[in-house]
Amino acid sequence: MSLVNRDLNIIWHPYTQMQTALPPIPIVRGEGACLYDENGKCYIDAVSSWWVNIHGHANPYIAQKVAEQLKKLEHVIFAGFTHEPAIELAEHLLKLLPDNQAKVFYSDNGSTAVEVAIKMCLQYWHNQGIQRTKILAFKNAYHGDTFGAMAVSGRSAFTAAFDSLLFEVDFIDLPDASNIEYLKSQISHVKSDLACFIFEPLVQGSAGMIMYEAKYLDELVAHCRKEGVLTIDDEVFTGFGRTGRNFACDYLTSKPDIMCFSKGLTGGTMAMGITTCTQQIYDAFLSEDKLKTLFHGHSYTANPVACSAALASMDLFLEDSTQKNIRRIEASHRQFAEKIKDHPKVRTIRQTGTIIAMEWETGSNTSYFSTLRDKLYQYFLDAGIILRPLGNVLYILPPYCITDDQLIYIYAKIETALEEL
């Protein structure tokens, strides 16, 4: 039986309407930005395999480090025990973060990194006997698919079946010059109920690569600090170079209390999540009283193999050649945006670092479920490019090792699509 048929017999895929979706494409190997199917056809991975891959597929350096670790220690319970990869990764990561970040908590994906962040904030107040349980988030936010992460995400078709069970969250507009003072007053108004404010810095990925200015986020974070509201910077998507700097919060002068990481953390090799926090938050859990413990953990917390993948990925990330690649992709995207921005089918085009997104002119139908989306998706697959539009928003988010030729090919196919679709 073919791989496709064996799959269809028994596998339920994520974010997939199994009745109407086209059969999945079996991938047998990857190299650089290319994923190869059974017939040897290359698909250029222009979405970094759901935004996780930053150094290309089957990266030999990461593979070697992971293999070495696998032969030494594959896993150990992380309560009561520790190991060098976890310690070294925490040391390396903290060196890259704002210097108020002091402690590292491990989990195993982006949603759990967010769950931990929310729990840290809620219990921070609880441990001090202060009643502050309200959470503030942006409209259209996306912070993950588990219940807590879903609750702090915007209500949408994706959450509809669960809306009545999600805890209440105050959603505010993205900040800009016109509303920043109003948003600040909104925060001040409810500050004594607010446990924390969670945000995707600079780019709301899942909402359709919606971008907003660092300057106004900076003002909001500073205002929260002034009003004693904790801030959670969800860098699950934006971390590790996506926005052009190491982390999106590097564009801010006010620093968040808590940060969340996953996706690019291991270069897309192993599942891993990290939540970091300030000494002040950590200290609120220190007590002779066992009830003040952060009661949270996952079986695979700080898995040594995942830690070694993250360490290897971070080595590569800090190399000059990677930093140059990020600059190269930024410049290349900028040129492309300039070239097509006036095309009648391009409603808007926007860019932050290595992320470029264009809104396709569709008249009024802009839903995620629009048929244009499916047409575009298939059009690019046929051309050997993986692009997964979010509704009518087509975006490119490549691994940093993507070649100029591959980028030029993607741009050219988008231009043809603009003519043909």
78 binds ligand PLP per the rule CB under 6 A: no
Phi and psi, residue 232, nearest 5°: -115, 115
Q: Phi/psi at 61 (nearest 5 deg)?
A: -65, -45
- Provide the terminal-to-terminal Cα distance of the chain, rounded to the nearest Å: 36
To ligand PLP, the closest distance from the beta carbon of 249 in angstroms equals 13
Q: Is 244 in the site for ligand PLP (CB under 6 A)?
A: no
Q: Tell me if residue 368 is catalytic.
A: no
> Which one, 222 or 390, has the nearer CB to ligand PLP?
390
Q: Among residues 145 and 227, whose Cβ is nearest to ligand PLP? A: 145
Of 106, 142, 251, 411, the residue at the interface with ligand PLP (CB under 6 A) is: 142
By CB under 6 A, residue 417 contacts ligand PLP: no
Candidate list 205, 241, 353, 391; residue touching ligand PLP; CB under 6 A: 205
Amino acid making up residue 48: S
Of 36-44, 105-113, 209-217, 313-321, the segment contacting ligand PLP by CB under 6 A is 105-113
Candidate list 200, 218, 233, 359; residue touching ligand PLP; CB under 6 A: 200
* Residue 144 near ligand PLP by CB under 6 A: yes
User: Is 114 among the residues that bind ligand PLP (CB under 6 A)?
Assistant: yes
Q: Which of 55, 65, 132, 143 binds ligand PLP (CB under 6 A)?
A: 143
Residue type, position 407, single letter: L
Phi-psi category of residue 408: left, alpha or beta, with phi > 0 → left and psi -120 to 50 → alpha: alpha
Residue type, position 224, single letter: C
- Beta bridge partners of residue 194, listed in sequence order: 134
Cβ count within 10 A of residue 350 = 17
**262: amino acid identity, one letter:** S
Q: Name the catalytic one among 15, 99, 290, 320.
A: 15
Closest CA to 235 of 401, 96, 328: 96
DSSP letter string over 55-99?
A: S-BT-HHHHHHHHHHHHH-S---SSS---HHHHHHHHHHHHHS-T
Backbone angles phi, psi at 196, to 5 degrees: -165, 170
Contact 152, 143 (CB under 8 A): yes
Segment lying near ligand PLP (by CB under 6 A), choices 166-174, 234-242, 311-319, 399-407: 234-242
Stretch that binds ligand PLP, among 12-20, 54-62, 199-207, 385-393 (CB under 6 A): 199-207
> Which listed residue (109, 269, 301, 352) binds ligand PLP by CB under 6 A?
109
C-alpha span between 137 and 153 (Å, rounded): 7
- CA–CA separation, 89 vs 247, rounded Å? 16
Tokens representing 256?
Answer: 């968040």
283 part of the active site = no
Catalytic residue list contains 216? no
3-state helix, strand, coil in the chain (%, to 5): 40, 20, 40
Question: What character string, x for contact with ligand PLP (CB under 6 A) and - otherwise, covers 150-189?
Answer: ----------------------------------------
Q: Which stretch binds ligand PLP (CB under 6 A): 74-82, 142-150, 299-307, 333-341?
A: 142-150
Binding region for ligand PLP (CB under 6 A) out of 15-23, 35-43, 211-219, 229-237: 229-237
DSSP letter at 246? Answer: S
The count of C-alpha atoms lying within 13 angstroms of the C-alpha of 313, restricted to the half-sphere facing its C-beta, is 32
Q: Which is nearer to ligand PLP, 69 or 206 (CB)?
A: 206
> Does the annotation count 72 as an active-site position?
no
Nearer Cβ to ligand PLP (105/411) = 105
Residue 113 near residue 274, CB atoms below 8 Å: yes
Candidate list 198, 236, 274, 401; residue touching ligand PLP; CB under 6 A: 236
Judge whether 113 and 173 are in contact, CB under 8 Å.
Answer: no
Query: Which residues of the shown chain bind ligand PLP in the complex (CB under 6 A)?
Result: 109-111, 114, 142-145, 200, 205-206, 234, 236-237, 262
Positions marked catalytic: 15, 142, 234, 263
